[in-house]
Structure 1
Amino acid sequence: MTQTVTIDGPAPLTGTFFAADAPRAVAVLNGATGVPHRFYRHFAAWLAETQNVSCLIYDYRDFATSARGHVKKVTATMLDWGLHDTQAARDWVSARAEGLPIWVMGHSLGGLLLARHKRTNEIARVITVCSGPVHTTDHPWPYQAMVRALWFGVGPISVATFGYVPARLSGLGTDIPGPVFKQWKRWCTTHGFFAADASVPAAPEAALTCPIRMVSLSDDQSVPPNAVARLADLYPGSPTQHVVLNPNDFGLTKVGHTDAFRRQNAALWPALIA
């Protein structure tokens, strides 16, 4: 069964819940920056229909189906998306879990700030995909040149001109709100990522203790495996497992940062949750 839902939190969020007939767990999937929740619908349906794991997918505040006005008026930050909205979505799942194990899945941004959640003892397992505290210097060339152009040229000029980064310039195919872009840039161009950002609350020591499966793709130039490996530093209280998947091993030629969740790459899906 598929259901459109509204998640109450600091800001209203719109999502879709895929309910398994006989669930063994319930999951929330936190998406990547600038990726609408409908992109994950085939994966969420697969979880519910073949793995007996109910799954919530949703859009961050003021983005895609959660948008409430023009993007140039959005005041949401990267922290709002990556912490406050992921907390609200997990709260929604927790209230309906009925004693089932709760999985938290995070794609890119969606896996970075979970140690700062409340009631982390409710989480049975975490699965992250292409998520890590990446720095500009982690990107291989010539891809790094494109990223530098976004951070130091196209992005700031767009925000100053339009108030946001238009879809045709963001490289993501979606509009990125100005405050989100500014904080995103600051994190990714600072060694230590968000450690120097005073707006990011400190995480309680060893706040998260459940197992974390960190999945990276060998051909991901946006958050390469070496950056994914550093994600373990953000979760010192959890046993972590870093798995690097090579698309060729699954009969695929190219996957990269985003496309692990595309239906044509479904051969990867059992390895994501193994």
Structure 2
Amino acid sequence: MNTFEALTITCKDGYSLSARFYTASAMQKKNCPVLICPATGITQNFYQAFAEWLTTQGYDVLSFDFRGIGRSLHGPVSQSEASIVDWGQLDIPAAIETLLYKTQADQVILVGHSAGGQLLGIVPNHEKVAKVVAVSGSTGHVKGLKGRTRLLAPVMFNVIFPLARITKGYGPTQAIGMGENLPKDVAREWAQFCSKPGYIINAIGKKVASAHDYHNQITCPITSIWATDDEIATQANVKDLLRLYPKAHTEMIELQPQEYGHKGIGHMLMFRKSHQNLWPVIEQHLSV
């Protein structure tokens, strides 16, 4: 038996996204529903246990797959024209509107995992977001990476992706254990955006018109929660993300795995059932 209602989100350009709506099961429902925006190449399945748990805390929840990923991939990935810019300008706005329609709320709380928390600055209906909690949220700037990822990222971005674009027509991230394979433009933008500080800010004036840069207009609170053993969302890269929102109240929450009884948390484990004792940490920062 499904714990969710399967939905189709229709974006402004007519593209359809696969989504799941979870209804609050607690007696007292929270005013703002939660929108879960996924990490690059990660499907909504990954967040199901967390979404179900949030419903027990009184939250209505919507999760979805970005275009070109999971159930929002229509046809071969090599033929997908999806881009990260599309995710921010088209997919997230449509998901916000769908969740507001389903709940009749005025605003949503955005829980963004990695890339899902990096794109608010190009979301046209950003004023409908009451708060952002960016889990493993940072810019992923290559010079701010740590450990093995600092060595592997340049190879993936500068060698694997360009070659695969020619030979396969997509970014082969599945083969290296990094989620679903990526549409070619998603892979290319990921490499471009992480090569310099600021991530999506590098698209402004290029793929994103200056008039559609909303970073300086955003005033909702933004909290980034990351782990000390995260090789991508390092302290330097978290700071790099939060500096992009000069008018927003920002907060950095650093988690040490040992304090919660874990050998590691890294970039991905905060949403795993094995790490569900971290979920109340996320939830306590959802209040507006």
**Relative to structure 1, is the Cα distance of residues 173 and 73 closer, same or farther in structure 2, using a 3 angstrom cutoff?**
same
Q: What is aligned with 1:64?
A: 70
Cα offset, 1:20, TM superposition: 0.4
Tell me the residue number matched to 2:259.
249
User: Pick from 96, 99, 109: which aligns with 2:105?
Assistant: 99
1:273 counterpart = 2:283:
yes
Q: Secondary structure at the match of 1:133?
A: coil
In structure 2, distance between residues paired with 1:247 and 1:71: 36
- CA distance in 2 between partners of 1:77 and 1:183 (Å): 7
Q: 2:134 aligns with which of 107, 123, 128?
A: 128
TM-score in terms of structure 1 length: 0.93
Match of 2:20 in 1: 16
Q: Deviations over 1:222-248 (max 9, x none)?
A: 221221122212222211111011111
What is the correspondence of 1:55-204 to structure 2 with a 5 Å cutoff? 55-99=61-105, 101-197=107-203, 198-202=206-210, 203-204=213-214
The alpha-carbon deviation at position 268 of structure 1 amounts to 0.6
What residue in structure 1 maps to residue 223 of structure 2? Answer: 213
* 1:131 Cα offset (Å): 1.6
Going from structure 1 to structure 2, the CA distance change for 1:173 and 1:29 (only over 3 Å counts) comes to closer
> Matched residue of 2:8: which SS?
strand
Helix, strand or coil at the partner of 2:62: strand
Q: How far apart in 2 are the matches of 1:61 and 1:221?
A: 26
Trace 1:38-49 onto structure 2 (pairs within 5 A). 38-49=45-56
Structure 2 unaligned blocks of 5 or more:
none
Q: How many Å apart are 1:62 and its aligned residue?
A: 2.3
The answer on whether the counterparts of 1:30 and 1:111 sit within 8 Å (CA) in structure 2 is yes
Equivalent residue of 1:174, what SS? coil
Structure 2 counterpart of 1:3:
5
**1:262 equivalent in structure 2:** 272
- TM-score by structure 2 length? 0.89
Give the Cα separation in 1 of the matches to 2:151 and 2:215: 37
8 Å contact from structure 1 (residues 101, 124) kept in 2: yes
Contact 2:139 2:240 in 1 (8 A): yes
Residues 206-262 of structure 1: CA deviation (Å, up to 9, x unaligned): 322122111111111022122112221222221111101111111111111111101
Change over 3 Å in CA distance of 1:173–1:126 after alignment to 2: closer
Q: What's the RMSD between the two structures over aligned residues?
A: 1.7
Task: Go from structure 1 to structure 2 and tell me whether the alpha carbon gap of 1:144 and 1:64 turns closer, same or farther (over 3 Å shift).
Answer: same
Would the aligned equivalents of 1:134 and 1:193 in 2 still touch at CA under 8 Å?
yes
What amino acid is the match of 1:36?
Answer: T
Contact map agreement 1:116 1:207 (CA 8 A) in 2: no
Following superposition, the deviation at residue 145 of structure 1 comes to 1.3
Q: In structure 1, what is the Cα distance between the partners aligned to 2:147 and 2:273? A: 29
- What 5-or-longer segments of structure 1 have no aligned partner? none
The letter of the residue matching 1:226 is A
Contact 1:82 1:109 in 2 (8 A): no
Which residue, 24, 30, 34 being the options, matches 1:27? 34
Runs of 4+ in 1 over 4 A off after TM superposition: none
- Report the Cα distance in structure 1 between the residues aligned to 2:107 and 2:200, rounded to whole angstroms: 30
* DSSP-derived class of the 1:223 partner: coil
Aligned length, in residue pairs: 273
CA distance 1:177–1:89, change in 2 (3 Å): same
The percentage of aligned residue pairs carrying the same residue is 27
Pairwise CA distance, 1:117: 2.2
